[in-house]
Homo-oligomer: A and B are copies of this chain.
Amino acid sequence: MTAGTAGSPEVGPVQLLEKHRATLDQALETIRSRAYWSPHPEHPKAYGEGGTLSAEEGRAAFEELRGSRFELPGQPGGDGWTATESSPYGIALDIEYPHVDVGTLLPAMRLGMPAWREAGPEVRAAVCLEILARINARTHEFAHAVMHTSGQAFLMSLQAGGSHAQDRGMEAVAYAYAEQTSTPRTAEWSKPQGKREPLELSKSFTAVGRGVSLLIGCNTFPTWNGYSGLFASLATGNPVLVKPHPRAVLPLALTVRIAREVLSATGFDPNLIALAAEREGEGLAKELALHPQVRVIDYTGSTAFGDWLEAHATQALVHTEKAGVNTVVVDSTDDYQGMLANLAFSLSLYSGQMCTTPQNLLVPRDGIDTDEGAKSFDQVVTDLAGAVDKLLGDDARANALLGAIVNAQVGERIDAAGSLGEVALASRAVTHPEFPDATVRTPVIVKLEATKPEAEAAYLSECFGPVSFAVAVDSTPEAVRLLRRTVREKGAMTVAGYTTSPEMEQLIEDACLEECAQLSLNLTGGVYVNQTAAFSDFHGSGGNPAANSALCDGAFVAGRFRMVEVRRPA
């Protein structure tokens, strides 16, 4: 296929719509009800039949990719190859991706826009759902790709990087469809003029994309954090240029290749999506972000670069998820063991390398009331450390929960944590039976005094990785004041609270409503503050410094297209 031209479709729009309309309708219903739903199984054994890759097939497909050139047939502007990944599990990937000349690629990406616009929101949604269906069929392959770029453990890679990411993508497709179709395709307008003939016009309304949409991927959650923006932009008529993190190219490269295949098969220009893998130290994101043809940006990563994008890429609509400092207010509980177990799991999952992992545990200096009686500050911290130890005592379970440390900086932060205060729980290294070169570390918990200036400097900075601070505060109201300040100054993706007091609950809730942060209260079972479910939970609020948008809501999709009206006499 020649770049910029579409072949005759293997799959027609009618077939596609028939295949996916019921799923789209269910997704549309669920973003309104926000009940539980997912069409993407999260159990590994759910795959292997009906054209989906089994565990063995997924692993084999991944092994096939290692040490190879990742071809993207027909993608214009190729000017060489680049390989920048290294598995946090220590195995060689050695996958080369095409490097592109942006000046050639960007104009070519726009050529398919008219046909993609003319297809309309429903066909675009069906094409997006077909892409997601084909990604879903290869969930096991994606699991390995996510595992060996992010360092997530296998099961988490399969769930968060596979089915849950697919859910987020579908959620964005549903929001995009709903927002575009809230204006009718045509309207007849008749304005009475008293005894004279009415004024009459026929109007048509067409959703048009803004232009090229740039996805700047992240290292830790390349698919989960990337799919909302990718599918929201594609579904609203925009070509999508994917610039992955240089350490996490494969999951997005697979995504782009599958999407290009589906676009071709359905008669659209495959260049509506393209991959821009960069060379080591190239700084391609900065160059692309300021390009006049780039009109939408989705970014997940550091606060510094996110702030830079918001300030400088003013030609584009910029959606950012940056860093925050997540707080847990511990006031009281009627399920002490449940609270400890829940928090221990939250701190341990993916070694705290989630933007949603709690960092500061604010506990009153005089202790808390629990169903097991009063517990002093020290006791709470000791018991939490014990809960983490118990959770991770078995190396097999520790490896399954922790995954690998994604880069050396995280390791350095773990090692430096001891200098910040009294260590309540020291980090230990865990050996991975299959990947002996992986760096696997358990969390460290450091005790701090809220009012000490040097402590404040520590707990008011994001310390990305498995480092958390048990901060002694004067009282719960004081904890809530500190929570407010933290959210306002540093941002927060999540807030958690434990309390049996209606007054304290209201205090925490009001703080979150006013400072605009998502709150989880009294989680003691199998739901964790760091996890959000697509179709039901909002990820981030978009209203505090941690992020300027939320996954996913109307605002996330509404600006990606404009409605062009043509009116004529009826």
Contact = CB atoms under 8 A, between A and B. Distances in A.
Interface of A: 31-36, 113-114, 117, 178-179, 182-184, 187-193, 199, 201, 203, 205-206, 208, 210, 310-311, 314, 509-510, 512-514, 516-527, 533, 536-538, 541-543, 550, 553-555, 558-559, 562-569
Given A513-B208, A516-B208, A558-B554, A203 B563 contact: no
B513 A564 contact: yes
A380 to B, nearest CB: 20
Given A34-B189, A188-B35, A564-B519, A179 B513 contact: no
B519 A567 contact: yes
B189 A533 contact: yes
Nearest to A192: B36
A32 B182 contact: yes
Nearest 5 CB-CB pairings of A with B: A543-B562, A555-B558, A34-B187, A521-B568, A554-B558
Contacts of A205: 34, 538
Given A35-B189, A208-B514, A518-B564, 20 more contacts: A32-B183, A34-B184, A35-B187, A36-B189, A36-B190, A36-B191, A36-B192, A179-B554, A191-B533, A203-B536, A208-B513, A208-B516, A512-B564, A518-B565, A521-B566, A522-B568, A541-B562, A543-B564, A555-B555, A558-B558
Contact of A519 (B183, B527, B566): B566
11 contacts: A34-B203, A35-B190, A114-B513, A189-B536, A191-B533, A208-B516, A519-B567, A521-B566, A542-B562, A550-B562, A559-B559
Chain A, interface SS category = mixed
Nearest to A555: B558
Contact of A566 (B33, B34, B512, B555): B512
Contacts of A521: 566-568
A117 B538 contact: no
Nearest to A553: B563
Copies of this chain: 2
A187 B550 contact: no
Contacts of A36: 189-192
A187 B519 contact: no
A362 B208 CA distance: 25
Contact of A553 (B183, B193, B542, B543): B183
A533 B567 CA distance: 12
A34 to B, nearest CB: 4
Contacts of A208: 513-514, 516, 543
Contact of A510 (B31, B114, B524): B114
Contacts of A189: 34-36, 533, 536
Nearest to A523: B569
Given A208-B513, A553-B558, A193 B526 contact: yes
A179 to B, nearest CB: 5
A509 B182 contact: no
Contacts of A31: 182
A85 B36 CA distance: 58
A326 to B, nearest CB: 15
Contacts of A518: 564-566
Contacts of A543: 208, 210, 562, 564
A536 B518 CA distance: 36
A83 to B, nearest CB: 37
Contacts of A178: 182
A524 B542 CA distance: 47
Nearest to A210: B543
A77 B280 CA distance: 56
A490 to B, nearest CB: 15
A559 B566 contact: no
A201 B275 CA distance: 39
A370 to B, nearest CB: 16
